[in-house]
A and B are shown apart, each in its own frame.
Chain A
Amino acid sequence: MNELDFYTLYVVFYEMMGMLFWILIALVIFGIGGFILALTREGGLQSRRLILSEILGLLGGFMALFIMAKVTISGFSDAGGPVDWLLVGLIWGGGLVGVTILSYAIMGMLNILNDSQRQKA
């Protein structure tokens, strides 16, 4: 096999992260699933929760950069060209979007859970 394909990517990512790979995949599925569920059940975006999620997302972006710096024993201050700044943006953006969706999903699920418990009561 000499092509760059999804299976090869999986193999390399798994080699890189071990079980953390599947934990991250589970988080992505849970985050997106929970986000969609919250949207559907609540009939749209809850602006207050979204703002709080975005604030957490901002922190998530910086956390992603911090983790990347730790893992690569370097940091975004080593950026030397445009592609490096693009990478910094991608990492930060990935952290921002991921944490925003995940935190919105968690808060949404908690809200749904509370509602259903209140209805039962």
Chain B
Amino acid sequence: MGDLSRRSFLKLTAATGATAAAPLTLNATAAEKVKTKAHIVIAGAGAAGLGVANRLANQLDGAKITIIDGKKKHFYQPGYTLVATGIKGSSYPTSGTSRYMPEGVDWIQEAVAEFDPVGNKIVTASGKAVNYDFLVVTTGMKLDYAAIEGMDVNRIGQNGLGSHYHSPDAAAKTWSAMSRFSEEGGQGIFLRPATEMKCAGAPLKFTFLTEHNLRRNGTRSKANLLYAAHSQSLFSVPIVHEKVRMLYEDRGIDTVYSHVLRKIDLDRKIATFDTPTGGSEIDYDFINVIPPMRAPDAVRNSPLAWRTGPFAADGWTEVDKYNLQHKVFPNVWCVGDIAGVPKGKTAASVKWQVPVAIDHLIAAIQDRTATSQYNGYTSCPLLTQYGRAMLVEFDYKNNLVPSFPGVIAPLEELWVTWVMKTMALKPTYISMVRGLA
């Protein structure tokens, strides 16, 4: 992928949201459609699945495309943090899956129960078998709240319990709980799981905005904030970790490392963390629980999952990290959260992964070899206070890959980045889901 391609998501966002100058090229005439009778099945109709379906529908002629997912609602998940911090209302992330479904695609409205890549077959929840020539796995992931002893998602919003990853409704309830905490003060605990996770910046953003909300309310002196990192760093990219560490120090947010939430007592408001020296109980008045994240059971228990290495325990799919093709089953690609790659569980990653996976899939249909690569690009507009954010973009090598070098500094708290996040990212995301951006 060219340099322009790598940067275009955020450049587009900036060009639309901030009227920043960006190099523009006239769109070349649409490429001729590839004729094929192949049956392509897409497992999952989230951002990645719909993006794949729309692009395949645009690029193929005669193919049978089937998408399998029981969810009728589509959630713009990057918006959850905005809901949980009172910036947007609870309806902001929600729309209908059918709104983005391309014409001519067969949508089986059921969950996938079983993958049988040896037999090139999927079995749905009702027991229906669906055979395929090519498979794209875009199931997303599972939030494993059950792994936290004592956790009850029905109590989100009550008694100081927040958990903004769960759903738009839970994000709104988290905002209610955080608002109360911001008025009353006390001990606030923030954390992230030890597993791979979607948008690893979101727990950090939420902490920053809670701190700012306390300042706005004039109650900062009544609150202690503690961020419990699961490892020895706050963020996997070392230079970003250092920046966040400095900002947390500046804002008076305490940090502890190697703390993983194991248990929570919702009545007594006590969180128990596993640490290298044993269990550690910490009282709280407000906590934002981010659960462990794993592959859905159907994937985890299938031959698609990694058997060894760091992605095996949670069942992420065994793919080549540069082209997202399955390493064992060459007619399978895995895109988005489900892909067992070192980075890439964000919408920006999906934006870059989808064209690469499709390029290779279509090349396979045509019996040729594609050369495009996904370099691990992902981005995180890291909100650091109401009205400002840092535009953090990086790749597999943990290199910062700023889209606007010399203009938008990646580790600078800027309004322009906030403008992009609040105004332009959602339309860009939706255009991506439609296969248009």
Contact = CB atoms under 8 A, between A and B. Distances in A.
B27 A8 contact: yes
A73 B19 contact: no
B386 A83 contact: no
B159 interface: no
B23 A4 contact: yes
Contacts of B16: 9, 12-13, 16
Interface in A74-99: 74-81, 83-84, 87, 90-91, 94
B148 interface: no
A39 to B, nearest CB: 26
A9 B413 CA distance: 26
A9 B386 contact: no
A86 to B, nearest CB: 8
B412 A2 contact: no
Contacts of B355: 1-2
B275 interface: no
A30 B22 CA distance: 26
A11 B407 CA distance: 25
A62 to B, nearest CB: 17
A75 B24 contact: no
A72 B27 contact: no
A3 B25 contact: yes
B100 to A, nearest CB: 11
B382 interface: no
B87 A73 contact: yes
B25 A5 contact: yes
Contact of A4 (B8, B19, B413, B419): B8
Interface string A54-65: 000000000000
B24 A4 contact: yes
Interface stretch (B299-307, B335-343, B424-432): B424-432
B11 A80 contact: no
Contact of B415 (A8, A13, A74): A74
A87 B416 contact: yes
A73 B385 CA distance: 12
A7 B4 CA distance: 16
B26 A83 contact: no
A80 B413 contact: yes
A61 to B, nearest CB: 14
A71 interface: yes
Contacts of B24: 4-6, 9
A12 B8 contact: no
A74 B419 contact: yes
B165 to A, nearest CB: 22
Given A3-B4, A8-B437, A87 B419 contact: yes
Contacts of A16: 16, 423-424, 427
A84 B422 contact: no
Interface residues of B, number: 43
Contact of B12 (A9, A80, A84): A9
B316 interface: no
B96 interface: no
B419 A8 contact: no
B246 interface: no
Contacts of A79: 414-415
In the complex, which of the residues A6, A71, A78 has the most CB atoms of chain B within 10 Å of its own CB atom? A78
Contacts of A11: 431, 434, 436-437
A94 B428 CA distance: 22
In the complex, which of the residues A7, A8, A16, A75 has the most CB atoms of chain B within 10 Å of its own CB atom? A8
Interface string B1-33: 100110010011101101110111111000000
Given A4-B25, A12-B431, A76 B415 contact: yes
Given A3-B27, A74-B387, A83 B414 contact: yes
A12 B416 contact: no
B123 interface: no
Contact of B416 (A3, A13, A84): A84
B418 interface: yes
Contact of A80 (B414, B422, B424, B428): B414
A91 to B, nearest CB: 7
Q: Top 10 closest A-B pairs, CB basis?
A: A78-B387, A15-B427, A5-B27, A16-B427, A74-B387, A84-B415, A4-B8, A7-B27, A78-B415, A2-B5
Interface of B: 1, 4-5, 8, 11-13, 15-16, 18-20, 22-27, 87, 355, 386-388, 407-409, 412-416, 418-419, 422-424, 427-428, 430-431, 434, 436-437
12 contacts: A2-B8, A4-B12, A4-B25, A6-B24, A9-B24, A12-B437, A74-B387, A74-B415, A75-B387, A77-B387, A78-B387, A81-B409
Given A73-B422, A80-B414, A83-B408, 7 more contacts: A4-B25, A5-B25, A5-B26, A13-B16, A16-B427, A81-B409, A87-B19
